[in-house]
Structure 1
Amino acid sequence: MDDPSQEQLLRSILEHKRRDSFESLVLRYQRPLLSLIRSRLGTNEQADIEDVTQDTLLQVWLSLTRSTPSNFQAWLYQLARNRCTDWLRSRAKTKNVRDALTVRQFVDRRGSKSVDMNERIDEIADVIENIPLQERSALTEFYFQGFSIAEIAARQKAPPGTIKRRLSYGRDMVRSELEVTKHTRIEVMNTRNKHSESISQVSPVISISKSKSEPFSIDLQEMSWWFVVPRVGDSACWATYAAIEEGKTFYLKSVHSLHAKCAAEIHGRECVEIEIDEKENSSNRSFVSFGEGDRSLRIWGDLTDTEVHWIAIESERSDGKRSLYTFLDEGWDLDFGVCDRVVPMRSLPDDKIGQTPSAHSKFPRLFCDEVYDLRIGNSKAIECMRVFDLESEPTDSDVMIDAYVNRAGRTVLARRYNGNQWAKAEGSKHFLGTKATWAEEFPHAYCQTISGVTFVHYEDFLRVEPESTS
């Protein structure tokens, strides 16, 4: 199941006064709200911006617990403008100090700030102020005030295509001024990903719809669902969002940054060593998981002309001891093994994953069906092939991956579904969770039925590198 809709969040606040719903709702507007307040006040003074933002959010909370506006975004921005006007009328002095605030710090005081990130944002803001007016207006309204291209076109009385060109030219001007190349953009993003506050705590809204484009072939060079290619120099970063609140919400659980560091050799097999920086979310959210499990430190893989080979994985147990699991160990092929780079097609009539297959038409372990348009938050649609990874004859004790891979062969989103009985045991005591089935554990999560087996949405693995979502 995707994130709750804005209407669901508003209803939860109005009817149940749910503070977590309020937090989730405000987080969706954090960047444009702060930018609007900062711009209207004409100051970078932290205390002033904090005061106005707190007043705004307090009024938002008090108002939403009594009634729901018909257009929340417009209402929120107007309310913030009113609070800014009140402040401007009553201010006695102003200062010019760079702020390091996020909306989360107002809603949840456990939030922490990142000086490097805010310095970078301020640097970009300074550059935008010095580019030509048309490009500056387009960038400001699109990125900082949250308007769509159509809305900007109407406001500026220009065709949407013109606005798109202004955005493109403006971005090029900013990158040129900052001397940002593709390589440095990756380095900056990798640095950002070391700070969990730079990645949304609640999963962004994910929209998936069938595309009109023809299916395309996939050369999947990545180590399956770890987002990285075993080629020296490749890198990837992905965030894990896990189901909470009976599957109503998917909350940030961890962030993995991977870098293919160097050539290596394991048991005589030439391969590539990949370092893993795994950051667990420090929040006190309660996830249905095994808890203190192994932490992956390094993996090794090999890329041939036709296959991707898993060679080894190094893990650290909760007691600090490290272990190495390799392709020579018993059971390796069941857990990792080899994947074909070319993913076969399998027709799935009416977008349903088939009836119970006959003996001569078992599912391939990895197969794709059709093209889908994938949108993450406010980003533009990405054309992806939908790829399934499941047992050839699935049972309710298996796990399924439902992934979306772009034309470059890079995974943008991989969704994990648990078979209804995975990690469950007969009787009242279970390996994971408290309910007898995952459908009962997460009654609000989305389910898929394949060959009569129910699979329940459990986690999302979302790539967070900019070049993978542009």
Structure 2
Amino acid sequence: MVIDGVEIPEDGASADPADEALARAARGDRRAFATLYDLLSARVFGLIVRVLLDRSQSEEVLQEVFLEAWERAPSFDVDRGSARSWLLTIAHRRAVDRVRAAQAASRRDLAAGARELAAAAPAVEDHVQVMVDGSRAVRGLRELPEPQRRAIVLAYFGGYSQSEIAVLLDAPLGTIKTRIRDGLSRLRAELEVTR
């Protein structure tokens, strides 16, 4: 069977139509590249969504992946791997880069906020109250179960979003939300008891 000029084996033979489509796309065949997109975009998108957890960002990264694939198609070597694995590798790298960029931006924002806060120079009594409340909060954090403590520290001291924490801790987003909510409730109760 032939789809858009790409031979698709009927008997399940080992030839992957994505390899042929990418080889033809490397020679500038736009129809073959469209076929490659049709064959692999859903799988590539699925991988990206699992890393980013954000559909709109995943759609952007999907576009970047296929743009890079089009530009780098001439450098693809079928002897080193399949078109599927090549595209999935590009997708995974791009998705991880997007997560890292978001984390770096979050850390920069947190650092800028800390500098602004430091520049405000609160009154001495405000400073003492913050230190007292801070030491109580640290004690309260130490009393939390490890999963709750890690999630809260990453969120409030690391500046990570709940989605980023889920990726970092390899846990479902709902679990991370529950850990943060329950940990904050326990911490609030602990701070009210010590007042």
Does TM, scored on the shorter chain, surpass 0.5? no
More strand by share: 1
RCO higher in structure (CA 8 A, sep ≥6): 2
Give the alignment's TM-score, normalised by structure 1: 0.19
